[in-house]
Structure 1
Amino acid sequence: MKNKRHLPVEGAFNIRDLGGYETRSGDLIPWRRFLRSDSLHRIAPQDVIRLHEEGLRAVIDLRTSAEVADAPNPFAAFPDVHYVNLPLFDDLSPQALSDAAQEGEHPLFTFYMTALETRGDAICTILTEMAQIDDGTVLFNCTAGKDRTGIIAALLLGIAGVDRKAIIADYALTAEFIPDLVAEFLNISRARGGDTESYARMLESPAETLAATMDAIRHRYGTFRTYLEAIGLPENVRLTLRARLRGQAPAAQKTK
Structure 2
Amino acid sequence: MSQRSICAALKLLTVKENIPAMINCAHGKDRTGILVALVLSCLGTPREQIIHDYSKSTKGLEPIKERCYKEIVERYHMDISFTQSHPHAIIQMFNHINDKYGSVENYLEAIGFSGQEQDLLRENLGRYALLVDKEPDT
Q: Same fold (TM over 0.5)?
A: yes
Q: Are positions 1:168 and 2:51 aligned together?
A: yes
* Structure 2: stretches of 5+ with no match in the other structure: 129-138
Deviations 1:97-136 (A, max 9, x none): xxxxxxxxxxxxxxxxxxxxx4333222111112114264
Cα distance, 1:195–1:244 mapped onto 2, change above 3 Å:
closer
Kindly indicate which of the two structures has a greater share of residues assigned to helix: 2
Partner SS, residue 246 of structure 1: helix
Deviations 1:61-103 (A, max 9, x none): xxxxxxxxxxxxxxxxxxxxxxxxxxxxxxxxxxxxxxxxxxx
Partner SS, residue 138 of structure 1: coil
CA distance in 1, matches of 2:2, 2:69: 28
Partner SS, residue 141 of structure 1: coil
Q: Are positions 1:158 and 2:35 aligned together?
A: no
1:43-122 correspondence to structure 2 within 5 Å? 118-122=1-5
Partner SS, residue 113 of structure 2: coil
CA distance in 1, matches of 2:2, 2:120: 22
CA distance in 2, matches of 1:185, 1:121: 25
CA distance in 2, matches of 1:126, 1:183: 29
How many residue pairs end up in the alignment? Answer: 128
Q: Which has the higher contact order (CA 8 A, sep 6+)?
A: 2
Q: Are positions 1:210 and 2:100 aligned together?
A: no
Contact 1:159 1:238 in 2 (8 A): yes
TM-score, reference length from structure 1? 0.45
CA distance in 2, matches of 1:221, 1:227: 5
Kindly indicate which of the two structures has a greater share of residues assigned to strand: 1
Cα distance, 1:167–1:189 mapped onto 2, change above 3 Å:
closer
1:139-158 correspondence to structure 2 within 5 Å? 139-158=22-41
RMSD: 2.5
Q: Are positions 1:226 and 2:106 aligned together?
A: yes
* Structure 1: stretches of 5+ with no match in the other structure: 1-117, 249-256
CA distance in 1, matches of 2:72, 2:14: 37
CA distance in 1, matches of 2:3, 2:72: 31
Q: Are positions 1:130 and 2:10 aligned together?
A: no
